[in-house]
Structure 1
């Protein structure tokens, strides 16, 4: 049951927290058979790596696994700092706060090669919004230049970019400048990064308001963003919220909320295949009512949406102005980045009622939900 307390907590009360996540996505080309298949024989590819070894890997980043859910094609781990998703060929690690994400890159490659000796990294994407307090980040996350220099030592074919205003909400991207890609698949990923959020919305994401994470998830309508998903959610003490969701196969979405008013931040990410994301973006924006946000959409050559620019060309979001839009074309992907800011008071953006959701709401019986808290 929800509490009557709905006050937004401040940094003075609970401390500063860097909500903007470091997001790493690595695609591997694996050898045909693993050297030492372990664990669940129904799992394939990267998913055969035991949880214990993933925990050791994450300890290098300074985060740990709190719980786990899975489908027939993907494992989702809810972390003390955001999320880890593992499918047959793709490894997605998203960490917030002052985590040392780069410390996991070379050990990850070594770990994969211990099971698949001929494994190769065929694509990599690393990105984050500009940090509010970069001086608090561990080396080399103090600046894009330091991050680029570090990654260049590992990947000789890397390429770094900064999109958005350098004196505003800029977004850093590092990827590989590949001329060949032996593992081309339909792939598209939407990320919405939101700042300066409605205090009333932020006040809901506190352990003093809802007695359980599922109660909060249901009350806020987060399960309706993309229906039919397996959900794994958590409210942190004294505030903060994470949601991992697997929708179908290896389709996922994830939500993370930092509700301290002075450093408020929410991220939404999904690889749901859509020809257009206008409706989904409007739903997310209406739910959280940010003061400003960035949108990014990656689309492979085989993506259902076609060009990312066309898929993100339409969102005219009530109460918001698009300040800029940038388009990048890579060898096997294209990317569209856009920045929006609110033009009307939050009171005129609606009462928080969710629009009609995306998807058909059906959940296949083969899905599993295993929530296994760390003691």
Structure 2
């Protein structure tokens, strides 16, 4: 195996379950009733462990040795970095949710960027085709609407930065994030910002050095305070010039903090993925198209001296749309920009 450093690019898995319609504790708390042993077994399969945990009325959050886990009544979101085996958690969680709680899977979404050190990844993560085959075999046949894609389809304009997405749903028109929509029908947005080639002076203040006495979580707290975001930024992999930020929220509010995250590190290259439901309630302001998202992201990033290099948008099962954009400090990058609108016609 070739020599490599720490893999910063995270793998992200989101599993959404159908809750019972007859009420009771399972309908109210759902996956939050999973036994601790079931979660421990899933994380052992991934090869990471819980560092700390907290919860509120809406969800339970776990800080992991390799990122984080969020458990809501109807969904589980697992995000890990390094050489973790994220997809190995899928059969464990499906079995536990079914056997312990009687919950059926409604949809699945898996996404990741292009690894810094792909040769270090264990099976099935070294190759996206293997990840797709693994998920196809692990998911129940009831999720018959499935699609996988690498965005953009060509490396010509995006370089090594591409976004890998797999989605499966029991229905092609059931919005995966429907239970996250607001009362006015505005869809839920999930924003992933990946930054490489960080400004060394800015990044150095967050790097851990021998004898400085800080933990990685303390460094993360420092980043959060410096950004003014109120959301934790991952401190991992700064030594290899990588940082990431994720934010969820309604409409434009979810996109509003992108500029703050980028300003913390002043990276030379930024990629931004936005996932949102592409259908909603008739007569409400939820109608959002890729062009609006592209424009909002560009408005947040380009004033920081970055030019858009590529952009793509694709529709996925469950009435879900994913957009992806890359930005670099090359002034002429925008001249070569190309749009990829496949699957949206």
TM-score (norm 1): 0.72
Structure 1, gaps ≥5 residues long: 1-11, 230-242, 244-253, 345-375
Distance 1:62 1:43 in 2: 30
SS at match of 1:313: helix
Instruction: Please identify runs of 4+ aligned residues in structure 1 that moved more than 6 A.
Output: 33-37
| RMSD value, Cα | 2.9
Query: How has the CA–CA distance of structure 1 residues 296 and 306 changed in structure 2, closer, same or farther, with 3 Å as cutoff?
Result: farther
Structure 2: any 5+ residue segments left out of the alignment? Answer: 182-187, 332-345
Tell me: CA distance 1:120–1:221, structure 2 relative to 1, closer, same or farther (3 Å). closer
CA shift for structure 1 position 293 = 1.5
> In the TM superposition, what are the counterparts of 1:133-282 in structure 2 within 5 Å?
133-155=117-139, 157=144, 158-164=146-152, 165-166=154-155, 167-176=159-168, 178-181=171-174, 184-185=178-179, 186=181, 187-203=188-204, 204-206=206-208, 208=210, 209=212, 211=214, 216-217=219-220, 219-222=222-225, 225-227=228-230, 243=232, 255-260=234-239, 263-275=240-252, 277=254, 279-282=256-259
Q: Which has a greater percent of helix?
A: 2
Going from structure 1 to structure 2, the CA distance change for 1:44 and 1:36 (only over 3 Å counts) comes to: closer
Question: Residue 46 of structure 1 aligns to a residue in which SS?
Answer: helix
1:48 to 4, 12, 33: 33
CA distance in 1, matches of 2:174, 2:8: 33
Question: Which residue pairs with 1:322 in the alignment?
Answer: 308
Q: Work out the CA distance in 2 between the residues paired with 1:289 and 1:282.
A: 10
Deviation at 1:211, TM superposition (A): 3.6
2:320 is matched with: 333
Closer/same/farther in 2, CA of residues 212 and 98 from structure 1, 3 Å limit: closer
1:16 aligned partner: 5
1-side partners of 2:175 and 2:223: how far apart?
42
Alignment of 1:118-137 (within 5 A): 119-137=103-121
Provide closer, same or farther for how the CA distance between residues 133 and 336 of structure 1 changes in structure 2, counting only shifts above 3 A.
same
User: 90, 100, 109: which one pairs with 2:85?
Assistant: 100
Equivalent residues, number: 300
